[in-house]
Amino acid sequence: MIERRRLLRFAILSVIAALVTIALKATAYALTGSVGLLSDALESLVNLAAALVALIALSVAARPADEEHTYGHSKAEYFSSAFEGGLILLAAATIAATAGRRLLDPRPIEEPGLGLAITGVAALINLGVARVLLTAGRRHESITLEADGHHLMADVWTSLGVIVGVAAAVLSGWHRLDAIVGVLVALQVLRSGYKLVRRSLLGLLDTSLPQSTLDTITGILDGHASDGVRYHALRTRQAGAMRFISFHILVPGRWTVQRGHDLLEQIEERIRSAVPNSVVDTHLEPIEDPVSWEDTRLERPVNGGATEPG
């Protein structure tokens, strides 16, 4: 878990970037009175809250397994990304409401040049930090850092849209264009929040590993079919960077316990090598016993048709 603790420095970087960009964008809004720039500043407040939650989540996820959490704490990252997605959705609603009011009551934009220049500087800061977070998130398989990185990238595109919209409003003299940009920003932020919430919920619901990873696992298992070995009850899930894989191996009943054990060790090692950060659990069964084929599901019938968790 030492490596996971090192990820905290990226979350701290995100917090610092959020504080700096909030100050810059608030200044830009104060100078211009632009609702587009206000929407951009509000999204940076969400960035700060998300970065703080990410810092807490990464601290929890880095804790080693204990008696109460025998599978570790890596799922904390999903709570962080889900919370961040919720904040993004809230920001989208706030931006849309503010832009709607300004559509009905358009106002001229003041000091647009200086305000847009300040917003541009903030966008460049977010761009640099987002690239760092996305790279680190993919390298270390941290959904928290990836979520924060994608959020900052959405903020970058939002800022660019606001800059274009405000500039167009000033040049054309059509002040409602500023509010229209605010509505478009809200829609983009809404899309970003939805994707984050969906991905987080899928992780919390123990969704299976991607099909490409499943194909790798089944390819290894199918490689022993010529020896009369079969498998079933393959179950997978992911929690943060950790992948959990379990399955049953059915071998001829005449095999010795040692031979079956050696086969399981070989299969587990190959899967751990092919699927990084994986915990592999196996169960050995005699292929001739009908009972061995009754536990292919999470639940199996017992006591004349009743069920109990497998």
pLDDT at 36: 65
Is residue 304 over pLDDT 60?
no
The reply to whether 56 and 86 lie within a common domain is: yes
pLDDT at 111: 64
For the residues 224-229, what does the mean pLDDT come to? Answer: 86
Q: Domains in the chain: how many in total?
A: 2
Q: Domain of 222: which CATH number?
A: 3.30.70.1350
pLDDT at 108: 65
Q: Which class for 190: exposed (0-12), middle (13-18), buried (19 or more C-beta within 10 A)?
A: middle
Structural domain of residue 97, as residue ranges?
2-204
The reply to whether 8 and 127 lie within a common domain is: yes
The mean pLDDT of the chain is: 80
Which of 163, 185, 204 lies at the terminal end of a domain, its last residue?
204
The reply to whether 200 and 219 lie within a common domain is: no
Which of 159, 185, 204 lies at the terminal end of a domain, its last residue?
204
Distance, in Å, from the CA atom of 14 to the CA atom of 145, rounded to the nearest integer, reads: 9
Is residue 286 over pLDDT 90?
yes
Reported confidence tier of residue 305, pLDDT bands at 50, 70, 90: very low
Structure tokens at 43: 């999204």
Which of 177, 204, 231 lies at the terminal end of a domain, its last residue?
204
Reported confidence tier of residue 169, pLDDT bands at 50, 70, 90: confident
The answer to whether 52 and 157 have CB atoms below 8 angstroms apart is: no
The reply to whether 155 and 225 lie within a common domain is: no
The reply to whether 57 and 122 lie within a common domain is: yes
The reply to whether 50 and 163 lie within a common domain is: yes
Within 13 Å of residue 122, how many CA atoms lie on the same side as its CB? 32
Q: Regarding predicted confidence, which is higher, 72 or 252?
A: 252
The reply to whether 259 and 139 lie within a common domain is: no
**Phi and psi at residue 301, to the nearest 5°:** -70, 140
Q: Regarding predicted confidence, which is higher, 31 or 249?
A: 249
